[in-house]
């Protein structure tokens, strides 16, 4: 764990020493990477929900008491 923290700190220090344009590009790359990761998570959750629905594992209700019981 300590080695990872040292590596992280080394990466951060390296980034801080880059020219402004490079740092801005890193921000752009990270933002796009994070958005892609979240999209993939949403897609995976959707596919999992579809499978659960097909297998009959999903239950639906509009009644509060029933929803609380499902939790």
The string of pLDDT tens digits covering residues 14-31 is 999 999 999 999 999 999
DSSP states of 58-69 as a string?
----S-HHHHHH
Question: Domain range holding 50?
Answer: 20-70
The string of pLDDT tens digits covering residues 29-61 is 999 999 999 999 999 999 999 999 899 887 777
CA distances from 38 to 15, 19, 41, 49 (A): 24, 29, 5, 16
60 within some domain: yes
Q: How many structural domains comprise the chain?
A: 1
13 within some domain: no
2 within some domain: no
The model's pTM is: 0.68
32 within some domain: yes
5 within some domain: no
38 within some domain: yes
DSSP states of the chain as a string?
-HHHHHHHHHHHHHHHTS-HHHHHHHHHHHHHHHHHHHHHHHHHHHHHHHHHHHHT-----S-HHHHHHH-
């Amino acid at each position: 764990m300590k080695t990872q923290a040292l590596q992280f700190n080394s990466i951060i220090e390296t980034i801080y020493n880059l020219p402004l344009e490079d740092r801005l590009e890193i921000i752009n790359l990270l933002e796009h990477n994070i958005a892609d990761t979240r999209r993939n998570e949403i897609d995976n959750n959707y596919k999992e929900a579809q499978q659960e629905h097909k297998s009959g594992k999903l239950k639906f209700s509009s009644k509060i008491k029933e929803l609380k019981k499902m939790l």
